[in-house]
Every structure is written in structure tokens, then in C-alpha cells.
Amino acid sequence: MTVKIKFANRTEVGKGKCRKLRVKGRVPAVFYGPEYRDSVVGSVDIKELSPVANTLNWETSMIDLEMPDGRVEMALLRSVQRHAITRNILHVDLYQLVKDQKVKVAIPIRIINKEITVGVKMGGVLEQPLREVDIFVLPRDIPSEIVLDTAQMTLGDEIFVRDLEMPESAELVTPVDLPVVIISRPKSIAETTEEETEETTEVEVLGKGKRKEDGE
């Protein structure tokens, strides 16, 4: 889903001027990108901005940014500054996307069916050491998120970055050997398995020693 936002120019800067803009329901903004080497200073309507900025996937939500001259630019939010206490939006940075130019984005990873995961039902612990993955990708292929269904994962199973389904134009930036999801064995099972391994190794060693004595 692409959200439409109108961008208005502003010539006055400073904390006081920005505060007045916010009182009027507008958020100070800066727009920049490959074709806008000199950043454009402006503002956007908080009502138009909120549906994007207040979502979990705001960094990957496509925006049709209508410029003051009527031109519509593809854009992404690059920065959302908020008040430390009220969490109200104070300022945003918008980045221009160019149709045939890849852009680096951080794609969030969302897990579904945690509660019915086979390994979890067996007493395992579902761990997610990686929450997002960085890629270079064409604007048309930017996914809002990567969804992983862990329902069939069992004890000891792992999903790595290399296992993730990516858009056709995507180039991974995040190392492919990093784990994304792990179903860890419960401590009791892990200790039992370790003890069994040690016992088996000890028997093998003793067996080898005995065979050596028999051959003497």
C-alpha cells in the first residue's frame, strides 16, 4: 500500500518557527535523494504522515510525495524524530526513490505461529537473534516485511539469512550465515544429550583400547 503525502515548501527555519508549524498540524520535513543533492526544506500534514510514521514498518512503507510544483516523487521515511515523553512527531527526513536505482533498506522480520511451533510445544525456546535484514533492492520490489512461519520448526532447527526468500532484484548486505530464528533445546534435554555423547565417546575410547590389547 502506497500512502500519498503533500509536501509544502518552507523558508523559515528555527525552533520557534517549527513549533508554530506543529501547532498548525504540520511536521517540519526535509526531502533529499539522488536528484535532490540540495535538500528541500518543507513540511507535511500530520494527518497524512501518521498512517506511515506510526506503523511498525514505517521504514519500508512507500510514499507518493506530491511536491509543490505538482510533481510526484516516490519516497521513503529515513528518519522520524519524536518527543522523548509525548512521542509526538517533531521532524521527518524523506528520501527520494528513483525507479531503476537500487536503494539500501532494512527489512523487518516478523515471526508468525510462535505459539504452535512444534519445537516450542516440545519444551524448546524460540530465539530470534536477528530482527531485520539489510538489502539493496529496486523500489518496486521493496517488501514491507519478511514473514517467517515457524509452526513446523522442531528442536534444534535454525533459519539463517541465506534461507530467507528475497525479491528478485535484492542483494543481501547482511551476512548470509547469521541465524535469524533458533529453536533451542531445553536445558534438561541438552544436558542429557551431552551426557549421552560423553558416555558414547568414553565407550568408544575404551573399546579401541581393548582391541589394541587383544592384538598384542
Instruction: Give the torsion through C-alpha atoms of 57, 58, 59, 64, to 10 deg.
Output: 120
Instruction: Please tell me the total count of domains within the chain.
Output: 3
21 and 72: one domain? yes
22 and 90: one domain? yes
Asked if 128 and 181 touch (Cβ cutoff 8 Å), the reply is yes
200 and 117: one domain? no
Sheet architecture: strand order including 125-127: 125-127, 179-184, 158-160
- Domain holding 145: CATH number? 2.170.120.20
133 and 172: one domain? yes
Backbone angles phi, psi at 100, to 5 degrees: -105, 20
Q: Give the domain-ending residue among 37, 71, 98.
A: 98
pTM, to two decimals: 0.79
Q: How is residue 154 written as a grid cell?
A: 522442531
Length of the chain: 216
Instruction: Give the torsion through C-alpha atoms of 60, 96, 4, 89, to 10 deg.
Output: 70
Q: Give the domain-ending residue among 61, 78, 98.
A: 98
40 and 64: one domain? yes
Q: Which residue ranges in the chain fall short of pLDDT 70?
A: 188-216
Q: Give the domain-ending residue among 98, 131, 164.
A: 98
Host domain of residue 8: 3-98
- Residue (of 49, 176, 58, 178) closest to 106 by Cα position: 58
Asked if 130 and 163 touch (Cβ cutoff 8 Å), the reply is no
> Which three-class secondary structure state does DSSP give residue 140?
helix
114 and 62: one domain? no
